[in-house]
Amino acid sequence: MSERGAPASRRVSSRWPLRRWLTLAIGVLVLVFIGAVVAGSLAIAGLTEARTTIVDRVDPAVQHALRLDTALVDQETGLRGYVLTAKDEFLEPYDSGVERQRAAIANLRRSIVVRTDLLDRITSIETDVERWRTDYAEPTIDRVRATGVGGDAQTEEGKRRFDQVRAAVGGLQRELDLAREEGRATLASAASTLVIVCATIAIVLLVVFLLVAVVLRAAVAGPLAQLTGGVRRVADGDFQHELRVTGPREVTELAGDVDSMRRRILAEVSVQREVNAALDARTEDLKRSNAELEQFAYVASHDLQEPLRKVASFCQLLERRYKGQLDDRADQYIGFAVDGAKRMQVLINDLLAFSRVGRHARDRVPVAGADLVAQAETNLAEAIGEAGAVVEVGELPTVLGEAPLLTAVFQNLIGNAVKFRGTQPPVVRITAERDGEHWLFTVVDNGIGIEPEFAERVFVIFQRLHGKDAYPGTGIGLAMCRKIIEYHGGRIWLDPADDGGTRFRFTLPVAADATTPAGTLAETPTEKAQP
């Protein structure tokens, strides 16, 4: 068997173990998940960067550029009003414009710090503004403040310089507008990229999960299902089905172990079948032998009746006719022959009765236990009367059985109590009580008793504990009691008595409509007269 299993073990050694399959599947899922996380993070980072650029940089820069243009216009307007009127209140827009212009330029630098080209343009604008203010606005203010007289509007040179500054600011605004459009386009592209990445991740994850599921099903679940089906088929009794499973090493090794167990079970079943067949053959031989022995005992005991009767009759005739006419030894020999013929006749009758038990089954009818005991007492009236025996019978139930056979049980037990009596007159006590689904009968006497070591021997046919000279008998009575009780579905045994004597107990099934006896012991001394 080990040689047959060797190729399978070598074959499974080249298979991947289940741990490797699971590690591969988990590794693939982890890699795909990491790739999905990286791709999604990059797409989200691009979208965030585009949104930050347009929201936190470009749009604020556009607003600051507008504020810068407004501040420059306020400066030019305030300066013009002051030149025309020479009133100081017209310088307030000019002064506030200067402060707002500087704040706007500072905010612009912070907003577009990453655009060096725009930073250079802002620096150029700031230089032009400071030059216009230094070369034209401040000298004009000082002149008007010194003379107290206004004049014409700004000169051509001042106007040219201011228009140059306004043009530079306009160019900056156009650049910022262009940057905003580019930012919006970048934001839209980043959003589209994120959607595409998310959809791609979802599709890739779905495909990978499906592939992993298919691979695991083919590599793990399929072999396990195949092994389960094979094991269930073997468990249902198909021990000839060989388990052949391909898959992970653990599954194939398990299949090999189960198949090895199947082969061992199959071998043991084959051996057990051979043993059972041999036992069945021996059982049939024993049944046939027992039937032949019973048939032989019945035929022998039945057929020996007539010749033995003739022998006994002629021996008795010899005894009556020639007794006293021959010598004493002849009379003794004739007496031995008559006694032997009588004993043989009793033995054959007992053997015939024993062989008849169960041979011809009759319908079992309800019989009263008291009637059975009464019939047994009637049959033993002579022996009971000679021994002065007393039979005490309690309230006995009604049982299902064959009355002649059950009567023989009580007759043998009472007869043994009378035969094996002690120095006191025999007293036999018969009671019964309910024990589950059986009636428990007890027959107790005050005789010589039986030693516990002979408790089983007394129920063996032809087994005697005493010599024939001390106590007559054939050694069949208790064996026949056991056969009758077991034939009725009960059992009989010897229960050692506490105060000497003998106590037999036996059980009989309870009839369907049986009632429990009252259990009170009714003493019925019976002293039958000798017929």
> What's the number of CA atoms in the CB half-sphere (13 Å) around residue 444?
14
Is the pLDDT confidence value at 7 over 50?
no
Distant-in-sequence contacts of 94-99, Cβ < 8 A, 24+ apart: 94/137, 94/141, 96/71, 97/70, 97/71, 97/72, 97/73, 98/71, 98/133, 99/71
Least confident of 200-209, 233-242, 462-471: 462-471
pLDDT at 523: 39
Decide which of 526 and 211 is more confident: 211
- Global model pTM greater than 0.85: no
Is the pLDDT confidence value at 5 over 50?
no
Is the pLDDT confidence value at 291 over 60?
yes
pLDDT at 466: 54
> Which of 208-212, 291-295, 367-371 is predicted most confidently?
367-371
Decide which of 464 and 409 is more confident: 409
pLDDT at 526: 40
pLDDT at 504: 87
Distant-in-sequence contacts of 217-221, Cβ < 8 A, 24+ apart: 219/16, 219/21, 219/247, 219/248, 220/18, 220/21, 220/22, 220/247, 220/248, 220/251
pLDDT at 301: 59
Least confident of 365-369, 493-497, 505-509: 493-497
Q: What is the mean pLDDT of the chain?
A: 76
pLDDT at 416: 82
Backbone angles phi, psi at 463, to 5 degrees: -90, 125
In the chain, % of residues over pLDDT 70? 76
pLDDT at 355: 59
Query: Structure tokens of 392?
Result: 């005490």
pLDDT at 521: 38
Query: Structure tokens of 244?
Result: 């052949």
Can you spell out the DSSP letters for 49-70? HHHHIIIIIIHHHHHHHHHHHH
**Average pLDDT estimate for 456-466:** 66
**Three-class HEC string of 249-262:** HHHHHHHHHHHHHH
Least confident of 81-85, 266-270, 495-499: 495-499
Decide which of 93 and 327 is more confident: 93
